[in-house]
């Protein structure tokens, strides 16, 4: 079955990881209620990679910052658009930018077609 992924990378102050986690838990609940197939938010842990550029290097995270790598899985792009329309209309997601635990300018987002998939 074809699948579609929304991917995010966010530079986040380390002191705001707990606040971000609360926001992400709400996001997971809302996206899943509106039909997402899978929702993941991950915080950087192993960032000293000698043979390639890490997410902290890519985002130019400062010493007091970390990186969140996240994705949401959908059946296809049309399904993604429908779910996101419902999520954005959900009153629980009406968070003003000043209430976010990170600067939205430090977020990178794209939609992706799944190229290869293998699960256990």
Q: pLDDT tens, 11-56?
A: 999 999 999 999 999 999 999 999 999 999 999 998 888 889 889 9
Q: Is residue 106, in this structure, part of any structural domain at all?
A: yes
| Tokens, residue 101 | 């635990």
Q: How would you class 26 by CB atoms within 10 Å of its CB: exposed for 0-12, middle for 13-18, buried for 19 or more? A: middle
The Cα 22–Cα 111 span in angstroms is: 24
The confidence score (pLDDT) of residue 118 equals 85
Q: Is residue 30, in this structure, part of any structural domain at all?
A: yes
Q: Is residue 120, in this structure, part of any structural domain at all?
A: no
Q: Is residue 24, in this structure, part of any structural domain at all?
A: yes
CATH number at residue 48: 3.30.70.100
Q: Is residue 68, in this structure, part of any structural domain at all?
A: yes
Q: Is residue 118, in this structure, part of any structural domain at all?
A: no
pLDDT tens sequence across 85-98: 999 999 999 877 67
57: containing domain? 4-113
Domain total of the chain: 1
Q: Is residue 78, in this structure, part of any structural domain at all?
A: yes
pLDDT tens sequence across 59-114: 999 999 999 999 999 999 999 999 999 999 999 998 776 778 888 888 999 999 99
Q: Please indicate whether residue 38 or residue 2 has the higher confidence score (pLDDT).
A: 38
| Tokens, residue 19 | 């606040």
Are 3 and 77 in contact, with CB atoms under 8 Å apart?
Answer: no
Strand order in the sheet with 4-13: 38-43, 65-74, 4-13, 107-113
- Residue 2 pLDDT greater than 80, yes or no: no
**How much is the pTM?**
0.89
């Amino acid at each position: 079955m074809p699948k579609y992924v929304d991917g995010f990378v966010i530079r986040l102050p380390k002191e705001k990881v707990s606040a971000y986690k609360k926001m992400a838990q709400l996001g997971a609940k809302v996206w899943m209620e509106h039909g997402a197939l899978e929702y993941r938010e991950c915080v950087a842990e192993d960032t000293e990679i000698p043979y390639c550029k890490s997410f902290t290097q890519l985002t130019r995270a400062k010493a007091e910052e970390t990186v969140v790598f996240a994705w949401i899985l959908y059946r296809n792009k049309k399904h993604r658009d429908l779910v996101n329309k419902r999520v954005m209309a959900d009153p629980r997601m009406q968070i003003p930018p000043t209430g976010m635990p990170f600067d939205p300018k430090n977020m990178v987002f794209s939609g992706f077609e799944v190229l290869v998939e293998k699960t256990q």
